[in-house]
Chains A and B, each alone.
Chain A
Amino acid sequence: MKNVWKLSLVLFLICAIVAAVLGVVNELTYRRIDELQAQKTAAAYGAVLASSEGYETLCDQAFTVSANGQKVKILCISRANNGKGYVVETEVSGAQGNITMVVGVNLLFQCTGISITRHAETSGLGANAASTAEVGVNFRAQFKGQDESIALTREGGAIDALSGATITSRSVTNATLAAILAVRDLA
């Protein structure tokens, strides 16, 4: 019994030291990480629906929309102040973890572009959806002009899935659909 106490104490001490060190490192890095993420989101807003007059947040209470049977979280909806449409931040479960993406929707409820701001998809496969290389740019370009009928080619739509990454492609497609539906319900 005495031994158990000793083991627990040693393990506890080591965990406490590691936790303290991590706390310090987190303190040193979290501002920069948040800042980078905010920059990325701001750049994504501009990329999906440019508005030199800025954006006005309409709804920042997260809610869930079901798109093709997949649950998509709508994090935030903003209106472009130049009256061109809306920008929606969504979160959807991908092949590995959550994908956070920004979707632009115009007044005709068509997608004006998508931008993936955070994801944990497989490098070289699903991660291509967010890549700045040709394969990623071409994949995302397909979403421009899509409306409520958006779907993967194999499901009768017009979006070619990334090779080896059907689940990622489907999640991104469903998130776009959810954004369109959310804007239509709001407008």
Chain B
Amino acid sequence: MNFRKQLKEGVITNNPILVQQLGMCATMAITTSLFNGIGMGLSVLIILTACNVVVSAIRKIIPGEIRLAIFVVVIAGFVTIVDLLLQAFIPALSASLGVFIPLIVVNCIIIGRAEAFCQKNTVAASFVDGVTQGLGYTVVLVAMSVIRELLGSGRFGGGLIDLARGLTLDGTGAGIRIFPEEFGAGILTLPVGGFLTLGFLFAAMQYALKKSAEKKEKAAKKLKKEEASEA
């Protein structure tokens, strides 16, 4: 198990949204404010980690034929737990994310990780995978929220930050106004803006990954040349 390697994979080289392209529906739908982005990201992180641990713990006793059914039952259980806890203790977040919390049941990141990772790896590795993949998901949600909120409605940290009251966890913060709302591109707060923002993030990610791969290749070639000339 290698925490740094897994962290790099989860957040960058194998990011669940930008590279594996999983769970995009909720990503585009809820990233309209920082409050939503962080709330959804952390909910997925918690559910993903819990499901990863349970799935890898029972991986040896579940028969292959019904593994998907069992994954779904486990995932649905954890999602319902988080849903009930949010309703009871953070009602503002529950109201704001609405149907997208129960919909985490069918979020393909979670079943994807269960199928691709947890059923072949130890509990500890699966736990780390849940945390790192969840972080990767949260980072992208936060980036999307910040971009859409800033360009769409000209503010930062809606729901979460209030200049007069500091951090607001009840979702009522007005956010920090960067420029007047009427100058914002309102389209970015609509679903179409979600598609656009996500598309640009995909492009940027692909560019960065390609650049880094080229760099590595060049370095490897250089090394080879040097070795050859030395010999």
Q: How far is the CA of A119 from the CA of B76 in the complex (A)?
A: 21
How many residues of chain A have a CB within 8 Å of chain B?
31
A75 interfacial contact with B, CB 8 Å: no
Which of these binds chain B: A106-114, A121-129, A175-183? A121-129
Whether B73 lies near A29 (C-beta < 8 A) is no
A54 to B147, CA, bound (A): 47
B87 to chain A minimum Cβ distance, whole angstroms, is 5
Q: Answer whether A18 and B91 are a contact pair too, CB < 8 Å, given A122-B98, A123-B32, A127-B96.
A: no
Number of A-B contacts (CB under 8 A): 82
B89 at the interface (CB under 8 A from A): yes
B158 to chain A, nearest CB (A): 8
Given A22-B81, A123-B96, A132-B172: A11 and B29 within 8 A (CB)?
no
Check A15–B65 contact: CB distance below 8 A.
no
Q: Verify B98–A120 contact, CB threshold 8 A.
A: yes
Q: A123-B96, A124-B32, A127-B98 are in contact. Are A25 and B70 (CB under 8 A)?
A: no
Q: How far is the CB of A16 from chain B (nearest CB, A)?
A: 10
Q: Is B34 an interface residue (CB 8 A)?
A: no
**A10-B66, A18-B74 as given contacts; A29 in contact with B96, CB under 8 Å:** no
Which chain B residue shows the least CB distance to A25? B81
Asked whether, in the complex, the Cβ of B98 is within 8 Å of the Cβ of A7, the reply is no
The answer to whether B65 and A96 touch across the interface, beta carbons within 8 angstroms, is no
Contact-size category for B: 35 or more
Please tell me if B95 contacts chain A, counting CB pairs below 8 Å. Answer: yes
What residues on B are CB-neighbors of A130 within 8 Å? 95
> With the chains together, A121 CA to B30 CA distance in Å?
12
Q: Mark B47-80, 1 if CB is under 8 A from A, else 0.
A: 0000000000010011101100110011011001
Which A residues touch B84, using CB under 8 A? 25-26, 29-30, 33
Query: Which of B29, B30, B70, B89 makes the CB contact (< 8 A) with A32?
Result: B89
Chain A contacts of B190 at CB under 8 A? Answer: 124-125, 163-164
Determine whether B85 belongs to the interface, using a CB cutoff of 8 Å to chain A: yes
Residues of A within 8 A of B191 (CB): 124-125, 164
The reply on B138 being an interface residue by CB < 8 A is no
Q: Collect the chain B residues with CB atoms within 8 Å of residue A119's CB.
A: 98
Contact with A along B79-119 (1 / 0, CB 8 A): 01100110111010001111110000000000000000000
Residues on B close to A: CB < 8 A? 29-30, 32, 36, 58, 61-63, 65-66, 69-70, 73-74, 76-77, 80-81, 84-85, 87-89, 91, 95-100, 172, 186, 189-191
